[in-house]
């Protein structure tokens, strides 16, 4: 049974984990936009190789990601071949593969439990699945019908991702504190 001191410590760890998760989510979201569009460029290149045409890809739209800091990020990539299959799914696929590989390497390097991979993986996968099903990163080029009739939006997707990130960071913090014998 948890006593008041242990309960307070775990609540403090949860609070710190949520703050770190929110900061990480904003940072990852910014870099995710660059990697996502880079994945589309790679997809356009692969599609160009398959059809034997030269690669012509360009960023066609930029958004002010954080107006307070004047940080711009790419939002849309144009491929001269139109919207071929590999190009379309290249952004989400590249992001999931890149971040999964990165998370796996960090966990291995820090010698943390590899089971932490899964909550971190889902915090990456959920926004990309949202891009595929509820935005235009699918072979059809439009959001699927259920997205039009639901309240799914960027905020709920962000909240779910932050929850998974918070859970993973909480486990990491508890693991580190147990290793230093600050908690049992």
10-residue mean pLDDT profile of the chain (184 residues): values are 75 87 85 91 91 87 85 88 86 93 90 85 87 80 66 70 85 76 61
Q: What residues does each domain of the chain span?
A: 4-179
Specify the residue for token string 């001191």.
5
pLDDT of residue 152: 56
How many other CB atoms sit within 10 Å of the CB of residue 21?
A: 22
List the Cα angle 160/161/162 in 5-degree steps.
90
pLDDT of residue 101: 95
pLDDT of residue 53: 87
pLDDT of residue 93: 93
pLDDT of residue 183: 63
Structure pTM? 0.79
């Amino acid at each position: 049974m948890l006593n008041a001191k242990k309960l307070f410590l775990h609540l403090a760890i949860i609070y710190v984990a949520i703050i770190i998760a929110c900061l990480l989510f904003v940072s990852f979201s910014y870099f995710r936009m660059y990697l996502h569009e880079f994945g589309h460029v790679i997809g356009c290149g692969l599609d160009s190789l398959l059809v034997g045409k030269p690669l012509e890809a360009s960023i066609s739209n930029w958004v002010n990601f954080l107006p307070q800091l004047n940080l711009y990020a790419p939002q849309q990539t144009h491929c001269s071949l139109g919207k071929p299959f590999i190009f379309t799914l290249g952004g989400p696929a590249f992001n999931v593969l890149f971040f999964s590989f990165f998370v796996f390497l960090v966990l291995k390097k820090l010698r943390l439990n590899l089971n932490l991979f899964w909550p971190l993986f889902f915090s990456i996968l959920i926004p990309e699945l949202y891009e595929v099903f509820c935005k235009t990163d699918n072979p059809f080029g439009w959001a699927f019908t259920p997205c039009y009739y639901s309240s799914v939006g960027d905020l709920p997707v962000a909240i779910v991702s932050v929850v998974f990130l918070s859970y993973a960071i909480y486990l990491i913090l508890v693991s580190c504190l147990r290793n230093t014998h600050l908690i049992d």
